[in-house]
Amino acid sequence: MTEAQDGLRGWTAARKAISAGLRFTSLRLRLVVVFGLVALTAAVSASGIAYWLNREAVLTRTQDAVLRDFQQEMQNRASALPVHATQDELQHTAGQMANSSQRFSVLLVSTGEDGSTVTGNSDLDSFTLEDVPASLRKAVNKEQPVSSGSSGNKSAYHLYWQRIVEDDEPYLVAGTKVIGGGPTGYMLKSLEPEAKDLNSLAWSLGIATGLALIGSALLAQAAATTVLKPVHRLGIAARRLGEGKLDTRLRVSGTDELADLSRTFNRTAESLEKRVADMSARDEASRRFVADMSHELRTPLTAITAVTEVLEEELDAETGSVDPMIEPAVRLVVSETRRLNDLVENLMEVTRFDAGTARLVQDDVDIADQITACMDARAWLDAVELDAERGITARLDPRRLDVILANLIGNALKHGGSPVHVGVRMEDEDLVIEVKDNGPGIPEDVLPHVFDRFYKASASRPRSEGSGLGLSIALENAHIHGGEITAANSPKGGAVFTLRLPQGAAEPDEEPGDDAERDANGTEGKAE
């Protein structure tokens, strides 16, 4: 099932990545923000261009009308004044000029007979020369060279204008001299009505921009829902697939990229389901074969074991009825028969774990007594140092704990060397048993594989005693208790196996069932 598990883990990782992306990167929010920024940029650009074009159009239209009227008034009225006009004449003419259709203020400036400057305005001295920018006055009074020709300059003086702002109010100021001699005229026109119109336009464009932004956000929300709904369905499907529901499929509609992604998902899920089904069938067949083989071997092994026990008794008898020439062969048969019997028992134990039929038969166990009994049954008392306080109890399966201890201590004695130290302590309400030997330790490249089935550290000893299932069975027995076994090397030398079990077993008590038939024999796995 390794490939199937890898596939399921891959889909689980993909599902987590999709969920994390939707949760932390806020794709919906990003779509709304992008839509909003695009709409805001477009609306602001369009509004800015529209405002600028309308502003120029309004101001240019007003400016051209005022300047045209002012120039016409200068030609019709100011040109009729004498060269040295009096203040009253200037005042009267300025008033007449101001009554034009454009309603602007007029200031007329002339030179008196004594050379003094005489002024007259239409607004009772409210519009004076100080209100006219110096640069404008300089340009108006500057005499230009006159040239002949169709494109030449036919007048020494021209009309000049300038926009100014005084007291936060915009004005148009213009000035010119009468052609052929006469007073200089200046005009002042308030642009406040146009400014109000432009402000109203700006507010309208701002409101339109805001509405466009809100509309784009709503549109982005709708688009995000349309786009993210298939992604959300894909995330749910990936999660279901990661949970082992391999029949999960997506409904496909359309021909866009999301539809292609859904089709790819369905094809992948279908392929994964077929592969997992095939591997499950092969795995089930393998487990059934091992179980059937183990059961079938037990019957002839029982008879063979009985015969070997009789032969062993004959070897140990004082009568010496066994021929000394065949005694080594008899002892080999006895040893290999025991080894084969242990292998069959271990295989049956493994098949129970794989099939999920292994159950706990719990009891309140005194740990020190249990370890002592395990070592006494195997004549290990002289080779093992026990450091365990009396009175430490835990609720667990005593037979399975015996299997774990037998494998860990036996492995330490065989591969590590005496004395083996067994320590017991309580840590964070867990029972911790450490088995430490005085050997060379476990090679670093072997450590990750010590609990693998049929793994032997030395490839040159494939026929060595032990099946390579002992530590694997010990680990499975720890798992069924809700515990764990770890292997490491001690800094002072030697290997250390640490068994950690909760004080209460992971599963409730059940009837012994199939496990009861092993109580008489026990299971002593060996590790290589």
Q: Quick one: pLDDT band at residue 496, thresholds 50, 70, 90?
A: very high
Q: Is residue 63 part of a domain?
A: no
User: Both 297 and 369 in a single domain?
Assistant: no
Residue 523 has pLDDT above 50, yes or no: no
Q: Is residue 473 part of a domain?
A: yes
Q: Quick one: pLDDT band at residue 13, thresholds 50, 70, 90?
A: low
What pLDDT was estimated at residue 339?
A: 73
The answer for residues whose C-beta is within 8 angstroms of residue 126's C-beta and 6 or more apart is 105
What pLDDT was estimated at residue 520?
A: 34
User: Both 303 and 379 in a single domain?
Assistant: no
The DSSP call for residue 419 is P
pLDDT digit string, tens, across residues 215-259: 887 877 787 777 777 777 888 888 888 888 888 888 887 777 778
Instruction: For CA atoms 455, 453, 405, 294, give the dihedral sign.
Output: negative
CA distance 194 to 197: 5
Q: Is residue 397 part of a domain?
A: yes
Residue 367 has pLDDT above 60, yes or no: yes
| Beta pairing class for 169-177 and 160-166 | antiparallel
End-to-end CA distance of the chain: 25
How many domains is the chain built from? 2
Q: Quick one: pLDDT band at residue 519, thresholds 50, 70, 90?
A: very low
Q: Quick one: pLDDT band at residue 9, thresholds 50, 70, 90?
A: low
Q: Quick one: pLDDT band at residue 309, thresholds 50, 70, 90?
A: confident
Q: What is the CATH number for 320?
A: 1.10.287.130
User: Both 372 and 326 in a single domain?
Assistant: no
> What percentage of the chain exceeds 70 in pLDDT?
82
User: Both 372 and 452 in a single domain?
Assistant: yes
User: Both 345 and 381 in a single domain?
Assistant: no
DSSP-based three-state secondary structure for 436: strand
CA distance 187 to 171: 10
Residue 1 has pLDDT above 70, yes or no: no
Closest to 477 measured CA to CA, from 423, 418, 402? 402
Residue 184 has pLDDT above 80, yes or no: yes
User: Both 407 and 496 in a single domain?
Assistant: yes
DSSP calls for 129-153: GGGS-HHHHHHHHPPPPP--STTS-
Closest to 484 measured CA to CA, from 440, 451, 528, 445? 451
Name the CA dihedral angle for 97, 101, 103, 107, rounded to a multiple of 10 degrees: -20
Residue 178 has pLDDT above 70, yes or no: yes
pLDDT digit string, tens, across residues 45-96: 888 888 888 888 888 888 888 888 888 888 888 888 888 888 888 888 888 8
User: Both 327 and 281 in a single domain?
Assistant: yes
Instruction: For CA atoms 285, 286, 287, 293, give the dihedral sign.
Output: positive
Question: Which residues are registered as beta bridge partners of 517?
Answer: none
Q: Is residue 246 part of a domain?
A: no
What pLDDT was estimated at residue 61?
A: 87
Q: Is residue 182 part of a domain?
A: no
Q: CB–CB of 409/375 below 8 Å?
A: yes
Residue 352 has pLDDT above 50, yes or no: yes
Q: CB–CB of 280/1 below 8 Å?
A: yes
CA distance 341 to 344: 5
Q: Quick one: pLDDT band at residue 497, thresholds 50, 70, 90?
A: very high
The answer for residues whose C-beta is within 8 angstroms of residue 11's C-beta and 6 or more apart is 238, 241, 242, 272
Mean predicted confidence (pLDDT) in 483-502: 90
Task: Identify the domain boundary among 324, 356, 388.
Answer: 356
pLDDT digit string, tens, across residues 387-420: 888 888 888 888 889 989 988 998 888 888 778 9
Task: Identify the domain boundary among 333, 356, 379.
Answer: 356
Q: Is residue 452 part of a domain?
A: yes
Which token pair is 481? Answer: 């208790």
Mean predicted confidence (pLDDT) in 12-37: 60
462: preceding bond cis by omega (within 30 degrees) = no
The DSSP call for residue 517 is G
Alpha helical stretches, state H, 77-118: 87-98
What pLDDT was estimated at residue 338?
A: 75
Q: CB–CB of 70/102 below 8 Å?
A: yes
The answer for residues whose C-beta is within 8 angstroms of residue 157's C-beta and 6 or more apart is 140, 141, 142, 143, 144, 176, 177, 179
Closest to 27 measured CA to CA, from 232, 216, 213, 219? 232
pLDDT digit string, tens, across residues 451-480: 887 776 554 444 445 567 788 888 888 888
What pLDDT was estimated at residue 174?
A: 92
Q: What is the CATH number for 468?
A: 3.30.565.10
Residue with tokens 């704990």: 401
Residue 24 has pLDDT above 50, yes or no: no
Q: CB–CB of 315/39 below 8 Å?
A: no
The answer for residues whose C-beta is within 8 angstroms of residue 283's C-beta and 6 or more apart is 1
| Residue type at position 268 | T
Residue 481 has pLDDT above 70, yes or no: yes
Which token pair is 301? Answer: 């092994």
Residue with tokens 């140990």: 316
User: Both 282 and 325 in a single domain?
Assistant: yes
User: Both 417 and 475 in a single domain?
Assistant: yes
* Helices first, then strands: H and E counts in the chain: 10, 12
Mean pLDDT of the chain: 78
pLDDT digit string, tens, across residues 93-135: 888 888 887 788 888 888 888 878 888 888 766 788 888 898 9
Considering only residues 493 and 173, tell me which one the structure prediction assigns the higher pLDDT. 173
User: Both 369 and 510 in a single domain?
Assistant: yes
pLDDT digit string, tens, across residues 251-288: 887 777 778 888 888 888 888 888 888 887 877 777 67
Domain that includes residue 352, residue range: 274-356
H or E, element range at 57: helix 27-76
Q: At what angle do helices 367-377 and 398-415 cross, to 10 degrees?
A: 60
Mean predicted confidence (pLDDT) in 343-353: 72
Q: CB–CB of 97/106 below 8 Å?
A: yes
Q: Is residue 15 part of a domain?
A: no
* Phi, psi (deg, nearest 5) at residue 257: -65, -35
User: Both 349 and 366 in a single domain?
Assistant: no
Q: Is residue 347 part of a domain?
A: yes
- Between 170-174, 232-236, 363-367, the lowest mean confidence (pLDDT) is in 232-236
User: Both 448 and 411 in a single domain?
Assistant: yes
Task: Identify the domain boundary among 356, 386, 405.
Answer: 356
| Beta pairing class for 420-427 and 384-387 | parallel
Alpha helical stretches, state H, 427-469: none
